[in-house]
Amino acid sequence: MHDASEPTYFMTLRHVLTLTFIAAIFASTQARAETLAVTDDTGATVTLAAPAQRIVSLAPHVTELLFAAGGGARVVGAVSYSDYPPQAKAIPRVGDNKSLDLERIVAMKPDLIVVWRHGNAMRQIDRLRELHVPLFFSEPHRLDDIPVTIDKLGVLLGTSAESNKASDAFRHDIAGLRTRYSNRPPVSVFYQVWDDPLMTLNGSQIVSQVIDLCGGRNVFADLKPLVPTISTEAVLAADPEAIVTATPGATSSDHPLPSLDAWRKWPSIKAVARNNLFGIDGDLINRPTPRLALGAATLCEDLEVARTRRPK
Show the domains of the chain with their CATH numbers. Answer: 37-166 (3.40.50.1980), 183-308 (3.40.50.1980)
pLDDT computed for residue 120 by the predictor: 66
pLDDT category at 256 given cuts 50, 70, 90 is low
pLDDT computed for residue 32 by the predictor: 44
pLDDT category at 25 given cuts 50, 70, 90 is very low
Single out the residue of 213, 217, 226 nearest to residue 301, CA to CA.
Answer: 213
Question: 46 pLDDT exceeds 50?
Answer: yes
72-107 burial by CB neighbour count: b if 16+ within 10 A, else e?
bebbbbbbebbbbeeebeebeebbbbeebbeeebee
CA distances from 60 to 40, 81, 88, 135, 235 (A): 17, 6, 9, 16, 31
Average pLDDT over residues 102-125: 87
| Pick from 112-121, 140-149, 250-259, 271-280: least confident | 250-259
Single out the residue of 135, 143, 119 nearest to residue 44, CA to CA.
Answer: 135
Cα(19)–Cα(17) distance, integer angstroms? 5
Order of strands, sheet of 112-115, starting from the edge strand that comes earlier in the sequence: 75-78, 55-57, 112-115, 135-137
| Pick from 8-17, 88-97, 103-112, 256-265: least confident | 8-17
Residue 79's identity, in one-letter code, is V
Average pLDDT over residues 293-309: 98
**How many residues comprise the chain?**
312
Average pLDDT over residues 81-98: 93
Kindly report the pTM of this predicted structure: 0.85
Helices (H), the chain: 6-34, 60-68, 102-107, 122-129, 145-157, 160-181, 206-213, 232-238, 270-273, 282-285, 292-308
pLDDT computed for residue 296 by the predictor: 98
